[in-house]
Chains A and B, each alone.
Chain A
Amino acid sequence: MGRFIARRLMGMVPFILLVSITVFLLIKLAPGDFASNYAASLAASGETVDDSMLADMRQRYGLDQPLIVQYWDWMRGVLQGDFGYSFQWQQPVVSLIGERIGLTLVLSVSTLLFTWAVALPIGVYSAVRRYSVGAYLVTLIGFVGLAIPGFLMALILMFVGVSVFHTDVGGLFSAPYANAPWSWARVVDLAQHMWVPMVILGTSGAASLIRIMRANLLDQLNQPYVDTARAKGLSEFTLLVRYPIRVALNPFVSTLGFILPQLVSGSVIISIVLNLPTAGPLLLQALLGQDQYLAGAFLLLLCSLTVLGTLISDILLALLDPRIRYQ
């Protein structure tokens, strides 16, 4: 098992390197750079900028250097924990994104747990009681959840929140806590606010996981080893939990790998709608303004999170299924 994890961790290194190159190239691929964007935005507000000032700016930020040198400078910093400097905010990237990445992570993980907690029992129920009224009902709810876009659901919830309950369901904190230092009260406040984005972000994932769980379990329910276990005299519940559900969990766990990036990217739009202080909105701004180090740092961290999520799901899979461990 230790070997397995070590091998996977080593495989991550070249992969993340490739990701960093791709991310950097993608940011650079857009026409213009931060300086020209800055000039354009100034021009839009009626001011003019002369070329020498722009050249000066380019030189200061190293934007006049060849691509490879810029990339090398960036990576050297990243390896030392320095993610560069945000042009837009005139601050080090680390201080800008630290809390936001943390909140994104907290939101993503709790959404994932919510998704599993909802999808597992409902999926099992709709497989075991196939063609029952209850199963049809949860299937219907599942499809509705799958079909409604997250941002629409966010808007509806906000509307209902304001018009019926007279509270603002946006944001992750109440006004007094928004910029306060961390305290127990702030954590409680966060928990009170988090369920709305959690439900919105988790619904479509949960709906598709219900379908996956149901299909997996239906495949397993008719397997000969289930008959073997039944012929031993096990009760139906023990039987179900010990055999088919455990085997069906297998693909369920491997969905972790693709659910994580979906949560992170899906949260961009919803974060904007709900005004959440997570990574999404800042990333969007950084990309639009060609704030290359800020955008790069975000993308790199999010990709690493995804890779890490895949690793965790692989480890869970190996724990669940001895066949994978031995391959």
Chain B
Amino acid sequence: MDTDQHDTPPVLEVRGLSTHFLLRAMTLKAVDDVSFTLHPGRILCIVGESGSGKSITARSLLQIVSPPGRIVAGQVLYRATPDAAPVDIAQLPARGPAMRALRGHDIAMVFQEPMTSLSPIHKIGWQIAEGLVAHGMMTRKQALARAVDLLRQVEIPNPEQAAEKFPFEFSGGMRQRAMIAMALACNPRVLIADEPTTALDVTTQAEILRLIRRLQVEQGLAVLFITHDMGVVAQIADDVLVMYHGRVVEAAPVSDLFANPRHSYTIRLLEAAQKLGMAAPPARAAVQPGPRLLEVRDVMLTYPAQGSLFRKTVQPAPTLQGISFDLHEGENLGIVGESGSGKTTLGNCIIRVLQPSAGSIRYTRRDGTVEDLAALDRDALRAARREIRMIVQDPFASLNPRMTVEQCIGEPLLVNGILQGQALRDRVAQLLTMVGLPGDIGSRYPHAFSGGQRQRIVIARALALDPRLIIADEATSALDVTLRGQILDLLLELQPRLGLSFLFISHDLGVIRYFCNRVAVMHRGRIVEIGPTEQICTAPREAYTQRLLAAVPEATPQRRTLVSV
């Protein structure tokens, strides 16, 4: 650890910052007595689970906390130059010109969602240039020219053309690059990055992390980097702040934190990261192949070329280009790939939400009959879907907010005419106990539960019809890392008891490695490699798999494979 850099005065010094949300019934202490310093040329990571107050802390620095949130105490001291007298940002009126002059000009921010954080109706170039014009630094024309320069700096190909495009013509990674270009437009001294890579693939994430590190070194930026991923922390941080329930529970240089975590929450975070990380050996051995459950052969999904008299033909992605694999009883097969690789499309084809345009999906029923799911009619499909269930990513969106937990879980039983009345209530209670929830919560509504509890409810619903195959599409991606491990353990514990097999779709190799016996790696609608998890994770044969593995941020600060400067 280079201690010399601490001799320069901090560009930003936060003392006892408290941001509270004054709600009708109570006061939510989102940020409670948080202190830290930011130095030029260093990256400070704030890590914590969702709801820990890390985003609110970042927003407080710019006074853009949405109401009813308010800074109630503390100081945010900013020095424009090392010798300048510090300004207390917390004292500036949030809507006043003094605060506005700092935003974007001195302290800039990159937001999490590259899809929604850019205006959908303005050109990229103008969105980057706008800040320069607003701060009176340049004329419109000069600013637009600089926007092209900035796009080149963030490694966007053909920056002149890119500046003329709209955000919806960009991929997620490109948008995040544009966001970074926008933040850097006015040469700020502090860059706040709020989960800038969370919505991106591992490969894109690695590129963005590299980019942020490079720009930070070149321009001597002080960076406040917010993440929930200990792997990312290990790869990019100089100093780390661990937040829990709005408070700082531990602050240390990155190597110290990973070597000697002191607070129990930090230890829990690190353990979860290790468990689902890539450093430990694969947790699941290859199973003895049981009877074959699913035989997928040459499944194709192509969309007819959509052209009309006046329009060019557009080919919608993603498509499947000849997928073949087997899934045996009691086996967990992982499907891994970047977004757009077709892994969700594949899951949807198997449960026949989408109709494959060619190929067969031969499924062996409980009674031993084999049928081709790709060719079933509606009624036969309904019967097959009792045995094949799906768990989807978002536990907030996949439960009807107007139905009680009991109605949610009992619905498949009710519509299939299996149970009703008291018997249904008993079965729901039994299912709830099975997934580790109290059996008497059936009359409550989903909004009363946290993300992890909701995902348990979703699992209970999937189990209601006593299925044999569960297609889990990013089932843990929306959860915090500690919860992720719990849900995976729950599924693994239920598996032998209920005789389940899983098709586990995820972009997260660590999760796949923990959960699956075999892995299929998908890329552009094809399976490029399939094999036992152990072999894929340690000795991948295909170049693409190697690239994918190399992009996973490893939770060991000594081995900075992603970001080397």
Q: How far is the CA of A320 from the CA of B103 in the complex (A)?
A: 28
Beyond A7-B310, A224-B113, whether A231 also contacts B66 by CB under 8 A is no
Interface stretch, picked from B128-136, B152-160, B412-420, is B128-136
Query: Does chain A have a CB within 8 A of B100?
Result: yes
Q: Is the CB of A231 within 8 A of B103?
A: yes
Q: How far is the CA of A322 from the CA of B112 in the complex (A)?
A: 24
Among B66, B117, B119, B134, contact of A233 (Cβ-Cβ < 8 Å): B134
Q: Is the CB of A323 within 8 A of B310?
A: no
Query: Does chain B have a CB within 8 A of A91?
Result: no
Q: Which residues A220-249 have CB closer than 8 A to chain B?
A: 222-225, 227-236, 238, 242-243, 246-247
What per-residue 1/0 map shows which CB atoms of A204-232 lie under 8 Å from chain B?
Answer: 00000000000000000011110111111
Which of A227, A228, A229, A232 counts the most chain B CB atoms within 10 A? A232
Q: Which residues A113-135 have CB closer than 8 A to chain B?
A: none
Query: Does chain B have a CB within 8 A of A321?
Result: yes
Query: Does chain A have a CB within 8 A of B111?
Result: yes
Q: How far is the CA of A246 from the CA of B135 in the complex (A)?
A: 22
Q: Is the CB of A230 within 8 A of B310?
A: no
Q: Indicate the size class of the contact surface on chain A.
A: 20 to 34
Q: Is the CB of A232 within 8 A of B310?
A: no
Q: Is the CB of B117 within 8 A of A235?
A: no
Q: How far is the CA of A229 from the CA of B372 in the complex (A)?
A: 53
Q: Is the CB of B95 within 8 A of A236?
A: yes
What per-residue 1/0 map shows which CB atoms of A312-327 lie under 8 Å from chain B?
Answer: 0000000011110010
Q: How far is the CA of A246 from the CA of B127 in the complex (A)?
A: 14
Query: Does chain B have a CB within 8 A of A164?
Result: no
Query: Does chain A have a CB within 8 A of B168?
Result: yes
Beyond A228-B111, A247-B121, whether A233 also contacts B168 by CB under 8 A is no
Beyond A247-B121, A322-B121, A323-B166, whether A233 also contacts B116 by CB under 8 A is no
Q: Is the CB of B310 within 8 A of A3?
A: yes
Q: How far is the CA of A171 from the CA of B104 in the complex (A)?
A: 59
Query: Does chain A have a CB within 8 A of B118?
Result: yes
CB distance from B561 to the nearest CB of A (A): 31
Query: Does chain A have a CB within 8 A of B64?
Result: yes
Query: Does chain A have a CB within 8 A of B182?
Result: yes
Chain A residues with CB below 8 A from B111, complex form: 224, 227-228, 231
Query: Does chain B have a CB within 8 A of A30?
Result: no
Which of A7, A229, A326 counts the most chain B CB atoms within 10 A? A229
Chain A residues with CB below 8 A from B169, complex form: 326
Chain A residues with CB below 8 A from B113, complex form: 224
Q: How far is the CA of A323 from the CA of B95 in the complex (A)?
A: 32
CB distance from B137 to the nearest CB of A (A): 11
Q: Is the CB of A322 within 8 A of B103?
A: no
Query: Does chain A have a CB within 8 A of B459?
Result: no
Q: Which residues B79-118 have CB closer than 8 A to chain A?
A: 95, 97, 100-105, 108-109, 111-113, 116-118
CB distance from A237 to the nearest CB of B (A): 10
Among A223, A228, A233, A323, contact of B135 (Cβ-Cβ < 8 Å): A233
Q: Is the CB of A230 within 8 A of B182?
A: no
Beyond A7-B310, A223-B116, A322-B166, whether A230 also contacts B121 by CB under 8 A is no
Query: Does chain A have a CB within 8 A of B62?
Result: yes
Beyond A222-B66, A238-B134, A323-B166, whether A233 also contacts B100 by CB under 8 A is yes
Query: Does chain B have a CB within 8 A of A6?
Result: yes
Q: How far is the CA of A230 from the CA of B64 in the complex (A)?
A: 8
Chain A residues with CB below 8 A from B118, complex form: 225, 228
Q: Is the CB of B134 within 8 A of A246?
A: no
Q: How far is the CA of A29 from the CA of B269 in the complex (A)?
A: 76
Among A222, A233, A235, contact of B105 (Cβ-Cβ < 8 Å): A233
Query: Does chain A have a CB within 8 A of B120?
Result: yes
Chain B residues with CB below 8 A from A242, complex form: 122
CB distance from A277 to the nearest CB of B (A): 43
Q: Is the CB of B121 within 8 A of A320?
A: yes
Q: Is the CB of A323 within 8 A of B121?
A: yes
Chain A residues with CB below 8 A from B168, complex form: 322-323, 326
Which of A231, A247, A323, A326 counts the most chain B CB atoms within 10 A? A231
Q: Is the CB of B103 within 8 A of A230?
A: yes
Q: How far is the CA of A7 from the CA of B108 in the complex (A)?
A: 45
Which of B100, B105, B108, B168 counts the most chain A CB atoms within 10 A? B100
Chain B residues with CB below 8 A from A231, complex form: 62, 64, 103-104, 108-109, 111
Among B66, B117, B166, B310, contact of A225 (Cβ-Cβ < 8 Å): B117
Task: Name which residue of chain B comes closest to A324, CB basis.
Answer: B121
Beyond A6-B310, A233-B105, A235-B100, whether A225 also contacts B134 by CB under 8 A is no
4 further interface pairs, Cβ-Cβ under 8 Å (given A7-B310, A238-B134): A225-B118, A227-B111, A228-B111, A232-B103
Q: List 7 A-B contacts (CB under 8 A).
A: A228-B118, A230-B103, A233-B100, A233-B134, A233-B135, A323-B121, A326-B169
Q: Chain A residues in contact with chain B, CB under 8 A?
A: 3, 6-7, 222-225, 227-236, 238, 242-243, 246-247, 320-323, 326
Kindly list the 3 A-B residue pairs having the minimum CB-CB distance in the complex, ordered from nearest. Answer: A233-B103, A232-B131, A233-B104
